[in-house]
DNA sequence: CCTGATACGTTATACTATAACTCGTTCATC
DNA sequence: GATGAACGAGTTATAGTATAACGTATCAGG
């Protein structure tokens, strides 16, 4: 399976699809995709990679929104709570969800050189872990699976 | 399988075993388990749970070691690099390894109420993920699997 | 309109982590 | 025994991440 994150592709389709899904998803829940929230999502969607909250904040501020951390954190938290973005704990950063609205569980592949971030299905993995955890009587609520390594493009030696 | 982290048990055995393993492991590698490093490990070993670097630092300072962050971070990094402790990214914290010297890959179960932290084997999970990642051409180097939820003791409603 | 709920902005502060430099000890080499 | 590299641990200072608490504007429902 080829990951868009690691391949050239028509990224506008990723962006447009995600934004449309976001609109309808949020509307269906009776919530509001306000300008600052929508803009935060657009910013995350610019690349298949993670972005720190302060980087998002700078961009929002440049667009005329607030200049203080809570502005970014609130927008990002909203996106995460509604499945439109993920929080990447290893990086203390956020990334747009690659399959919004799909009610999926994902594992993340993070390239340590080019910062590309792919989201691969992790439902099977999750079920295995849940089974293992249940043996100890532990009830899993949130699960994060994050791998750091090299994407296909960054594995070849660099031609100087 | 019962997890010591969630059960009453003779914890001195955990501590003594871990310290002995640490001593021999570090010696075998020609490194030094200096007083401050050893003390940091002892502090982490006090409970099956994670501890922030600054909490460890306070304890080290109280014992007469340095008062500045690098003192704690250096000791903790040393322990992590040598497999004597783990870094729990979800909590920005550190925990003593429950099976030092075993060259294992673990997943972490973190109770959000009592902060107990268990380490369950994740080699099978890891292999599944590695296979999945390889399909995209991604080469995994570091993998973290962390679950947040409720331990057996914290699932029962609290008797007020 | 009025009211409650939500969202956004602010200030201030807390928490986490690393850079860069100094000093002393250890230990192999001369 | 002197020399110098390697290491460990201490310092100051700063960078980076996150939240608490409060005031105001906006918006839906009655
Ligand atoms: Zn794309
Ligand atoms: Zn890459
Ligand atoms: Zn124990
Ligand atoms: Zn618990």
- Total domains present in chain B: 1
pLDDT above 70: residue A146: yes
Q: Which secondary structure element, helix H or strand E, spans residue A123, and what is its range?
A: helix A123-135
Task: Among the bound ligands, name the one nearest to the CA of residue A98.
Answer: 1
Q: Which of residues 13-72 of B touch A (CB under 8 A)?
A: none
Q: Which residues in chain A, range 36-65, keep a C-beta under 7 Å from any nucleic strand C atom?
A: 36-37, 65
Cα(B58) to ligand 3 centroid in Å equals: 23
**Is residue B158 included in any domain, yes or no?**
no
What is the average per-residue pLDDT within A141-158? Answer: 91
Q: Inter-chain contact A138–B144, Cβ cutoff 8 Å?
A: no
Q: Give the pLDDT of residue B1.
A: 65
Considering CB atoms only, which of A109, A129, A132 is closest to B136?
A: A109
Which residue from A36, A48, A42 is spatially nearest to A16, judged by alpha carbons? A42
**Is residue B85 included in any domain, yes or no?**
yes
Four-CA torsion A121, A123, A125, A129, nearest 10 degrees: 150
The HSE-up count of residue A131 (CA atoms within 13 Å, CB side) is: 9
Query: A85-88 and A93-96 as β-strands: parallel, antiparallel, unpaired?
Result: antiparallel
pLDDT above 50: residue A159: no
Tell me whether residue B142 is exposed, middle or buried, using C-beta atoms within 10 angstroms of its C-beta: 0 to 12, 13 to 18, 19 or more.
exposed
Considering CB atoms only, which of B120, B121, B141 is closest to A149?
A: B141
**Is residue A159 included in any domain, yes or no?**
no
pLDDT in tens, chain B (160 residues): 688 999 999 999 999 999 999 999 999 999 999 999 999 999 999 999 999 999 999 999 999 999 999 999 999 999 999 999 999 999 999 999 999 988 889 999 999 999 999 999 999 999 999 999 999 999 999 999 999 999 999 997 654 3
User: With an 8 Å Cβ cutoff, is B111 touching chain A?
Assistant: yes
**Is residue B77 included in any domain, yes or no?**
yes
* CA A75 / C1′ D28 distance in Å: 21
Q: Inter-chain contact A137–B152, Cβ cutoff 8 Å?
A: yes
What's the pLDDT tens digit per position in A71-84?
999 999 999 999 99
DSSP single-letter state for residue A51: B
* 3-class state of residue B35 by DSSP: helix
The parent domain of residue B91 ranges over: 4-151
Q: Give the pLDDT of residue A104.
A: 87
**Is residue A46 included in any domain, yes or no?**
yes
**Is residue A14 included in any domain, yes or no?**
yes
Sign of CA dihedral A102, A83, A16, A93: negative
HEC profile of B106-147:
EEEEEECCCCEEEEEECHHHHHHHHHHHHHCCCEEEEEEEEE
Q: Give the pLDDT of residue A157.
A: 65
Instruction: With beta carbons less than 8 A apart as the criterion, state whether B144 and B92 touch.
Output: no
Tokens read off for B17 = 């075993």
Distance CA B4, CA B10 (A): 9
Q: Which residues in chain B, range 57-116, keep a C-beta under 7 Å from any nucleic strand C atom?
A: 68-70, 73, 77, 92-93
* CA B52 / C1′ D17 distance in Å: 15
* CA B67 / C1′ D12 distance in Å: 12
Q: What share of chain A is helix, strand, coil (3-state, %, to 5)?
A: 45, 20, 30
Q: Give the pLDDT of residue A102.
A: 82
Task: Among the bound ligands, name the one nearest to the CA of residue B10.
Answer: 3
- The CATH number that applies at residue B103 is 1.10.10.10
Distance CA A154, CA A157 (A): 8
**Is residue B146 included in any domain, yes or no?**
yes
**Is residue A157 included in any domain, yes or no?**
no
Q: Give the pLDDT of residue B160.
A: 39
Q: Give the pLDDT of residue A70.
A: 98
User: With an 8 Å Cβ cutoff, is B113 touching chain A?
Assistant: no
């Amino acid at each position: 399976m080829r990951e868009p994150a690691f391949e050239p592709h028509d990224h506008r389709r990723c962006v447009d699809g995600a934004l449309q899904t976001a609109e309808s998803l949020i509307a269906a829940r009776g919530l509001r995709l306000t300008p600052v929230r929508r803009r935060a999502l657009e910013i995350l969607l610019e690349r298949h990679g993670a972005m720190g909250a302060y980087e998002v904040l700078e961009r929002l501020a440049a667009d005329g929104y607030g200049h203080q951390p809570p502005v970014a954190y609130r927008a990002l938290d909203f996106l995460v709570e509604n499945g439109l973005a993920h929080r990447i704990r290893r990086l203390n950063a956020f990334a747009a969800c690659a399959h919004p609205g799909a009610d999926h569980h994902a594992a993340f592949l993070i390239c340590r050189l080019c910062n590309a971030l792919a989201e691969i299905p992790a439902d099977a993995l999750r079920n295995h872990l849940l089974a293992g955890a249940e043996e100890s009587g532990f009830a899993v609520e949130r699960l994060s699976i994050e791998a750091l390594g090299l994407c296909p493009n960054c594995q070849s030696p660099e031609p100087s």
